[in-house]
Amino acid sequence: MTANACPATTRGEAEARPQAADIFRRFGPAYLRDHVLPNAPAKALQAAIACRTAALGGHLDVCAGCGFSKPSYNSCRDRHCPTFQGQAAARWIETRMDRVLPTHHFHVVFTLPSELRPLALANGTVVYDLLFAAASATLLELGRTHLCATLGVTAVLHTWTRQMDFHPHLHCVVTGGGLSLDNEQWVACDETFLFHVDVLGALFRGKFLDGLVRAHQAGKLAFAGTSAELADPVLWAKLRDTLYRTKWIVYAKRPFGDAEQVLRYLGRYTHRVAISSSRLVSADEDAIVLRTHGERTCRLDPPEFLRRFLLHVLAPGFRKIRHYGLLAPANVRTRLEAARFHLDALGKVRRPRVERPDLVLASEPHVCPACKVGILVRQLLPPARAPPGSP
């Protein structure tokens, strides 16, 4: 990987940039043939190759007047595919809008130390579950001890950097206060300060390592690849002691905007994947160039690009978005509504929702864009017999 300055681009150059789907379709089939992949990454890459192609079927809009026709192909609906995520994120935001509380919120990021990355690669589900459990327990415990209140927390897992390297961390949006433990009032915290990051980091470290040691004692950890050496009890004890001495980094800031904009802010993280077309600069047989920070770029050869992309495929059924405290499913009809009642009494009333017309399927007939007179008639296109890139 090399980083270099990337000059400003014109509109024409931006339109010529590659799409992520083009890269998967161009280089993915060869990667599948040349590499033996676990089931989940293989399926994710196959889905990205087939997304919005004839392989998945779709529909054909035909004008009965002039004969104009336009095919539209179905998306793969895989959560790792960059092509599918835009509408999925917008719809998720709309479904969660009724649960946002009219108060200030904070953005808190919990990051695993680099020493744990080899273990996380070999034990994704176990380590990620511990990350969710330790981070949420840290926030809720400090809410109880410092505010005598129950916070609302939404957490989203990310596992990548802007260079697509492996870097597990958790984005949390946390209410600026909570419902008192007796459910009788709303307890607000300062609008510029939630908890000290050193306190957050130390408590998070203790909770995570306690869970990790328990998982090791219960035989739930596998040691393979770059973590194979940790099967040695001496090296495992050395890692454990190092992690207890390491300062764990927690980052916190207050998101901008009002209460409802909090969800739109969070929507930037919920359905984001390791790469998006907007960050791609160029792609050819020798290298794929993607933008990282500002004008800086990263240059990867196609197999390395695909390898890094597949590092971030989650196990089937793994929940990368979770809700805790007032936002936990068990509290939505009870304590969350009590919190809303007390906030309303304080004059913090939620603004009326703004409907998103772009998320409503049009029911009126479409006029032909060619002749401007005829009506487009939709015909079903069945899936092709074999998706592109199938081994």
294 in a domain, yes or no?
A: no
For residues 188-200, average pLDDT: 92
With respect to residue 381, please indicate whether it lies within any of the assigned structural domains.
no
**What crossing angle do the helices spanning 302-310 and 39-50 adopt, rounded to 10°?**
120
pLDDT averaged over every residue in the chain:
86
Mean pLDDT of 189-201: 92
Say yes or no to pLDDT of 9 above 50: no
**Domain contains 247:** yes
Task: Place 365 in a pLDDT band, splitting at 50, 70 and 90.
Answer: low
In the predicted structure, residue 104 carries a pLDDT above the cut 50: yes
How many Cβ atoms from other residues are within 10 Å of residue 229's Cβ?
12
Mean pLDDT for 71-77 is 86
Of 84-93, 112-121, 267-276, 354-363, give the range with the top mean pLDDT.
Answer: 112-121
| pLDDT value of residue 361 | 42
pLDDT in tens, 368-377: 988 988 889 9
205 within domain boundaries:
yes
For the stretch 254-306, pLDDT in tens is 776 665 677 777 777 777 788 888 889 999 999 999 999 888 999 999 999 99
Q: What is the pLDDT of residue 273?
A: 84
pLDDT of residue 356: 46
Task: Write out the residue range of the structural domain in which residue 133 sits.
Answer: 86-274+311-345
In a domain, 120, yes or no: yes
Does residue 81 have a pLDDT over 90? Answer: no
Residue 127 has pLDDT above 70, yes or no: yes
pLDDT band at 151 (very low <50, low <70, confident <90, very high): very high
So what's the pLDDT on residue 14?
43
Share of the chain above pLDDT 90, in %: 60
pTM, full prediction = 0.85
Instruction: Answer yes or no: is 60 within a domain.
Output: no
Residues 6+ apart with CB under 8 A from 313: 40, 41, 44, 80
Residue 87 scores a pLDDT above 80? no
360 located within any domain:
no
pLDDT, residue 391, reads: 45
Span 163-185, average pLDDT: 94
| pLDDT at position 276 | 85
pLDDT band at 360 (very low <50, low <70, confident <90, very high): very low
Q: Is residue 173 part of a domain?
A: yes
Provide the 10 A C-beta neighbour count for residue 69.
14
Mean pLDDT value across residues 177-194: 93
Q: How confident is the model at residue 364 (pLDDT cuts 50, 70, 90)?
A: low
Number of domains in the chain: 1
